[in-house]
Amino acid sequence: MMKKMVAAFIAGALMMVSVQAFGSGVNLIGKKIDGQADLKIDGKVVGQTIIVQGKSYAPVREIADGVGGTAKYNKSGGAVEMSLPTQTETGQGSEGSGSTNGTDLSAKAAHEQKILDKKTEIDNKKMSIENQGKHIKDIKSELENQKIMLEEYRVKAEKSQGSISSAQTIYEVTKKTVADTETRLSEAEKELLVMQQQLTDLQTQLATLEG
């Protein structure tokens, strides 16, 4: 029963200490840390988690200490061994109540993980929106310069009095370039609107999880 409680808790929380402790299945070497957050158990901060690619990772020792258990690294076995307090130590009484407590703890940890993941999605979406805004600003600046050039070559083309000239050729090419840039700007602005709606949806989902 104790092993099932430990496995359920770790699986629900999606937490691990290191690459050496958990083998080749999880490799964090070279991965960028997107952020960090408090690790809370029953509302009490017991440590810090780091967020990598939308997942939160926390030290097993802090988890074990937070629930009154123990954790140690078995070098010979190449694994981290975690033990929760016995029913007598926690005052749970019957085996049934101990099992219920482990299930509740796992469910709570899984729910808190969903909230953290959703917040990470929101932060990433905000960053994408910010980058898209910068992209649109660059396109607008590019379009403004192109329109200035277009007007210059339009005047030169008119001065050529209908004869074929390099100014006329450049004017037609620049006119086509302006049209293409305007199309790119329109598509970029539509994409921004989609991103903003996605952000609104994510924030609604977060409110539902936290409600």
Q: How many CB atoms lie within 10 A of CB 71?
A: 18
Residue 188 has pLDDT above 60, yes or no: yes
Query: Which band of pLDDT confidence, cut at 50, 70 and 90, is reported for residue 114?
Result: very high
Please state the rounded mean pLDDT for residues 15-27: 42
Please state the rounded mean pLDDT for residues 203-208: 95
Contacts of 113 (CB under 8 A, 6+ apart): 12, 13, 14, 56
pLDDT value for 20: 34
Q: Six-digit token pair at 183? A: 């199309």
pLDDT value for 179: 96
Q: How far is 65 from 70, CA to CA, in rounded Å?
A: 6
Query: Which band of pLDDT confidence, cut at 50, 70 and 90, is reported for residue 52?
Result: confident
Contacts of 93 (CB under 8 A, 6+ apart): 87
User: Tokens 């952020």 label which residue?
Assistant: 35
Asked if 45 and 67 count as a contact pair (C-beta separation under 8 A), the reply is: no
More confident residue, 156 or 97: 156
Q: How far is 132 from 97, CA to CA, in rounded Å?
A: 52
| Percent of the chain predicted with pLDDT > 90 | 38
pLDDT value for 117: 95
More confident residue, 211 or 142: 142
Q: Six-digit token pair at 85? A: 């307090």
Chain mean pLDDT for the chain: 77
What is the per-residue pLDDT across 168-187, written as a single tens digit (0 to 9) for each?
A: 889 999 999 999 999 999 99
Least confident of 40-49, 73-82, 123-132: 73-82
Query: Which band of pLDDT confidence, cut at 50, 70 and 90, is reported for residue 208?
Result: very high
What is the per-residue pLDDT across 80-110, written as a single tens digit (0 to 9) for each?
A: 677 766 554 444 444 445 556 667 778 888 9
